Amino acid sequence: MNYGGPLLGIFACRDDMRLIRQMPGRIVGMTTTVKGRERGFCMALQAREQHIRRERATSNICSDETLCSIAAAVYLSLLGPNGLKKLGQVIMSKANYAMQAIANIEGVKAPVFKAPHFKEFTVNFDGARRTVKEAHEGLLKRRVHGGKDVSREFLGLGETALYCVTEMHSKEDIDRLVLALKWVVRGES
């Protein structure tokens, strides 16, 4: 990812130091200023093994993620206290809308797996007798970008692509994709 550059992931853990000490990377905690008036954030824990016991390290921190951390902190602060939850709900809603609409196209199966999906889902074109490449080229003619071809990466899936819907996609964007896919599957130009 990012051509080997820094990246950032956010995950949570229950308040158990045995688990916390196994977490890779750096743990940032919230505190108050000396006068107790302002909130502040500081690095609460960083695995020393990254520096002194590299062969047993749970992570390999070799680039500075500070810029990613600052960008994430600004974004999360703009979202507000419940913003991340709301964002997740919006993304799931839009992805489910797209999956259901694509699944209604004759010959197309979406998603391939019966499981909860967040953002990304698989679309299979075997029933439509189209290859992922044909579907993608047809979509590009309609100025719509198709999914990533995963047919060769995961043998046994047939002609399958990985599609992604985020908060940045409007209902109109999704409807445009679905309409373009219908034309492609029917062989209309």
Report the run of H or E that residue 181 belongs to, with start and end.
helix 171-186
**Which tokens go with 15?**
């308040």
Taking the complete model, does pTM exceed 0.85, yes or no?
no
pLDDT digits (tens, 9 = 90+) for 122-151: 999 999 889 999 999 999 999 999 899 998
User: pLDDT, tens digit, for every residue of 1-58?
Assistant: 567 667 777 777 888 888 877 777 677 778 888 888 888 877 777 655 555 555 666 5
Helix 66-79 crosses helix 83-103 at what angle (to 10 degrees)? Answer: 90
Domains in the chain, ordered, with CATH?
2-79 (no CATH), 83-186 (3.90.1150.10)
